[in-house]
Structure 1
Amino acid sequence: MMKSALLIIDVQNGMFTEGKEVYRGKTLLDKISNLITKARATDTQIIYVQHNAPAGRPLETGTVGWEIHSHIFPQVEDVIIQKSTPDSFHHTSLEEELKLRNIGHLYITGIQTEVCVDTTCRRAFSMGYKVILISDSHSTWDSEEITAQQIMNHHNNVLRWFAEVLPSDEVDFHL
């Protein structure tokens, strides 16, 4: 039987810088924290994806901004994957970790909706994983053209081609 994993992408301190905080940051952290609690109660694997950015960027490797946000900080049994591109699978150990643990279902959360969340969702689908995008547990920033909420709504709609899209209160890790 295939197992499930909660995938938390790029929820790092640098995404919550005052004045440049990701849209609805506190709500996002609370929703992901609640999902972590539900996942732990069902022995669902929790996997953090941590972006490694070059010097001078908000997620510069080894800086405070690069660290996983303390509101959702990992425990010893959690897996942390390091990446340097929007694709959580590209040149990372994610696929190896999923196979090692017999994980076939991915519940995807995190930042940034239209970049890393979108890319990872599509890639996971193409690799044969059952993907569940948690519609209220990913976020982004306003662009010059549209709001963060519009970007999130658009991606929740488009990514239905690649994932089942559910709000966090409908997530059941017993699948």
Structure 2
Amino acid sequence: MRQVLRTLEEQVQPAHAALLVVDMQNDFCAEGGYLQRTRAATSRNPIRVEDNVVIARNIEALAAAARQPACRWCGRSVYDFKYLADAHLAKRTDEALCIEGTGGVDFFQIRPQPGDLVVDKHTFSGFFETELHDLLQARGVKTLVMTGVATNVCVDSTLRHGFFLGYNVVVAEDCVGSGNQAAHEGTLSTVRVNFGTVTDSAALRTLLGE
């Protein structure tokens, strides 16, 4: 008989939980990064770098408290046009976001530690045409603890894909963010109803540090 992990305490155990850090990169998060630079003067939803600093600090504290999670994973977007599908290219106007070999693709304030997995991705989901699922399965992962940006795009796409693959989904509410607050709240609401659990990093630090 299959064991269904129903409670947060059952799902978030170090032996089978993975901390996923999505797209904490300069082009998404930093002062002068692509999104902050291109949206500063024209967007109703400008990138607030100070918010990203807080998110990074919360993620670092969560990672530090997790003594022995099954694994930690840092997803890194690389969006050179040569990697993108036609449908993705149709939404892009210039080739300047997360280009390999540039500072924009580098991690923002967070640095992977020895033993952490780093997986490059070329679309919004961290699972699409990457080795992430195989790596997590090899480590016995059953639960994804989601952090990073943007809540409504790459975090959302990765957690949904993970849910379809059979993982339990937990979102650390104070460790995710988006320049679009309404969309951010929409994703959190949808997760609560359909995909998993939304909680704060303090609760997760307790569970992962046990």
Q: TM-score range by the shorter chain?
A: 0.7 to 0.9
1 or 2, which has the higher strand percentage?
1
Aligned residue pairs total 167
Matched, 1:157 2:184: no
AA aligned to 1:3 is: H
Question: Residue 3 of structure 1 corresponds to which residue in structure 2?
Answer: 16
Distance 1:119 1:49 in 2: 12
Distance (Å, rounded) in 2 between the aligned partners of 1:57 and 1:85: 15
Q: How far does residue 57 in structure 1 lie from its aligned partner after superposition?
A: 2.2
> CA contact under 8 A between 2:18 and 2:72: conserved in structure 1?
yes
Pairing 1:31–2:58 present: yes
> Taking every aligned residue pair, what percent have the same amino acid on both sides?
27
SS at match of 2:60: helix
- Indicate the structure (1 or 2) with the bigger Cα radius of gyration: 2
Query: Matches of 2:97 and 2:59 in 1, distance apart?
Result: 21
The offset of 1:51, in angstroms, is 0.4
Structure 1 counterpart of 2:79: 53
- Pairs within 5 Å for 1:62-77: 62-69=101-108, 71-77=109-115
CA shift for structure 1 position 174: 6.0
Unaligned runs of 5+ in 1: 142-147
Runs of 4+ in structure 1 over 3 Å off? none
Is 1:89 aligned to residue 127 of structure 2? yes
Partner Cα distance (2:113, 2:175) in 1: 20
Aligned mates of 2:64, 2:76 — CA distance in 1: 20
Q: Is the 8 A contact 1:50 1:82 kept in 2?
A: yes
Q: 1:151: Cα distance to partner?
A: 2.3
Is the 1:4–1:107 Cα contact (8 Å) retained in structure 2? yes
Range with bigger deviation, 82-91 or 9-18: 9-18
Query: TM-score scaled by structure 2?
Result: 0.73
Contact 1:54/1:60 (CA < 8 Å) preserved in 2? yes
Residue among 140, 148, 163 paired with 1:110: 148
Map of 2:203 onto structure 1? 170
The whole-number CA distance in structure 2 between the counterparts of 1:89 and 1:44 is 17
The 8 Å contact of residues 22 and 139 in structure 1, kept in 2 or not, is answered as no
